[in-house]
Structure 1
Amino acid sequence: MSSDSGEVPPSGTPSLFNIPLLEAYGWKMSPFPGVKDQVAHVEATRKLRIRDDDVLVAAFPKCGTHWLWEVTQMLLRQTTDYEKRTKEQVMLESPGGLERADQEPSPRILNSHNPFVHLPQEIISKKTKIIHVIRNPKDTAVSAFWHTKTIFNAKELQFQELLDAVMGQSQLPTQFDYLQQMSEFERTHPDHPIKHEPVKIIKELAQFLNVPASDEFCQDVANACSFDKMKKIEETGAKDFPKELNDAITGAGGSLKFYRKGIIGDWKNMFTVAQNETFDAFIDSCTKTKGLNYAFIFE
């Protein structure tokens, strides 16, 4: 493991992404808001003690972990009542997240955007149930664009600048680098198009978690976790967000908004024809060179 604060992206990279990068276990990363020593935090995360009944919701950023984390907690707790806290309270990379995870009663529903090498290493020996959320890269990029403008107060950011960063100009790992690390799990845990058939997939998710779930209960969970309802809950400020992370984001002028549209195919409203052609070539190149075979749903 090493820390590298001297390597910066190439000249011409947008200033938002032109920041010193850190590195741990061969994975480059930008500083996480509110975390004072991120390399040490990664080491502590890898050493986190895993319990036999833990569940981990894992995904590349902006792929839908907020929504699926809420669905999972309803299934495990056998209720359609909303969790009073946001998922960031037990997000492994969040400031204070590891300490809160240690105090969490079982069964814990952990969540993370970390690559596999930064996850608790006991998930291998404990055979932890991992719910890996996969989203098509085009909608991920669009969601990341609006998220970056909001969270980091990047009002001047242009979509093309975000696309350039996503395609590797920032030297940060891409979504495909993340998927390559997680691909071993995908070989034994098939992916399911959740947003297309929510009730059916919630039922299958309940079976994966070994919890009872009638068709009526699955429908109730799907209704409770509809994107519109989740967005309204966020707007009311009803959920408890970690103070350390809140202070780091709002103190820098950012805004705590995580729900925007939550639909498949919003990329069509952002990509130009030329951008789409370039990004298609990027997707094709990455999937071939990394040996990936994901059935992305683009519409």
Structure 2
Amino acid sequence: MMSMDLKMDAIPRPEMFDFHGVSMINMFTENWENIQNFQARPDDILIATYPKAGTTWVSNTLDLLHFGQREKPIPLHKRVAFMEVFIPDFHSGVDLADKLPTSPRLIKTHLPVQFVPKSFWEQKSRIVYIARNAKDNVVSYFHFDRMNKAHPEPGDWSSYLQRFKQGKMVFGSWYDHVSNWWKKKQTYSNLHYMFFEDMVEDTGREIDKLCSFLGLTPSVEEKTRIVGEVHFDKMKNDEMANYSTISDFDFKVSPFMRKGKVGDWKNHFTVAQNEEFDEDYKTKMKDPTLQFRTEI
């Protein structure tokens, strides 16, 4: 076991590069042809997010809504296939998605909307998108990149914040990501667009909306149990949901599930950084119908 850990430490962090106008790393582009040719099914559910916007939260919620408590615990990353991830000779998200024994299959992606395999649209698969306000999202992504050895070195907070504004992040610009998925919602009716802040404010209400979108009718007891199961602190301590079994993640640096709060950005942004960020935000976010809350 020790040699495996040493080997992981010896592997340098990857470099980002421009991939069809979006910053990416090899791990998410090397299997591109197979990703693009992925055959979606009409009952598939695609969970789409910008990284660190509540992917795990919604994945676990959907898994519990559809499949309840499993007799034998299986880690979430094996129940919900991460479509674009590819580690040669070890793991392919596309293969995992193909082999999922469940119906519906739960598949997650961080891809910008223009990169989603076209079979999802053709099959009219249901898509759940969750978005998180930019300030909390960048803070969460910063801590994630610090602990995730499979991502590029984040550098210090202030340079990281600049990169975020420029869209030089793995999976590209937050601004483009949330805006383009929002635009897609106007033309694709099988897309449910959620906000992280709404989930924090009233998880039960948001689960009701999800159920209505998915045509599910859990009993009051079942719903209450799920709300309890997906509480942040419960998931943070659940080895089947908190990604503590992934060798690339250094929990000594930061846990995968850190705080799950709205407004933690206030502990990171200086007054000047916040003012600059707000000015820059106004230039990039032009659609008045897409509104985020940075506190609740």
TM-score strictly above 0.5:
yes
Partner of 1:285: 283
- Which residue of 221, 242, 249 corresponds with 2:226? 221
Q: Which residue of 2 aligns with 1:144?
A: 141
In structure 2, the residue matched to 1:23 is 19
- Name the count of aligned residue pairs: 269
After TM superposition, give the deviation of residue 109 of structure 1 in Å. 0.7
1:263 matched to 2:257? The reply is no
Identity %: 26
CA RMSD, 1 decimal = 3.1
Q: CA deviation at 1:277?
A: 0.5
Aligned partner (choices 107, 130, 135) of residue 133 of structure 1: 130
Deviation at 1:87, TM superposition (A): 2.9
Alpha-carbon spacing, 1:108–1:230, altered in 2? closer, same or farther (3 Å)? same
Q: Which runs of 5+ in 2 are unaligned?
A: 1-11, 87-91
Q: Secondary structure in 1 aligned to 2:180?
A: helix
What letter corresponds to residue 201 of structure 1 in structure 2? E
For 1:185-207, what per-residue CA distance to the aligned partner results, in whole angstroms no more than 9, with x for missing partners?
33354545222111111122112
Q: Which moved more, 1:162-171 or 1:115-124?
A: 162-171
Kindly provide the CA deviation profile for residues 15-50 of structure 1, in whole angstroms up to 9, marking residues without a partner as x: x999350414x4331233xxxxx5442221121101
* Residue-by-residue CA offset, 1:221-261 (whole Å, 9 max, x unaligned): 01011100111014xxx469699xx45x26x9997841000
> Counterpart amino acid of 2:25?
S
- Distance of 2:218 and 2:162 partners within structure 1: 44
Please state how far the C-alpha of 1:80 moved relative to its aligned partner. 7.9
Aligned residue in 2 for 1:296? 292
* DSSP-derived class of the 2:128 partner: strand
**Aligned partners of 1:19 and 1:82: how far apart in 2?**
38
- Report how far residue 216 of structure 1 moved: 2.5
Pick closer, same or farther for the CA change 1:20–1:56 going to 2, 3 Å: closer
Q: Distance in 2 between matches of 1:101 and 1:270?
A: 37
- CA deviation string 1:94-148 (max 9, x = no partner): 2211101111122101101111222221111111111100100000010011111
Relative distance call for 1:141 and 1:82 in structure 2 (3 A) is farther
Q: Which AA in structure 1 matches 2:265? A: W
Question: TM-score, length-normalised on structure 2?
Answer: 0.80
- Report SS of the residue matched to 1:282: helix
Aligned equivalent of 1:177: 176
Q: Give unmatched runs, 5+ long, in structure 1.
A: 1-15, 33-37
Aligned residues of 2:243 and 2:256 also touching (Cα < 8 A): no
Q: Relative to structure 1, is the Cα distance of residues 52 and 256 closer, same or farther in structure 2, using a 3 angstrom cutoff?
A: farther
Partners of 1:208 and 1:63 lie apart in 2 by 20
CA contact (8 A) 1:70 1:82 kept: no
CA distance in 2, matches of 1:126, 1:256: 39
The 2-side partners of 1:292 and 1:123 are apart by: 28
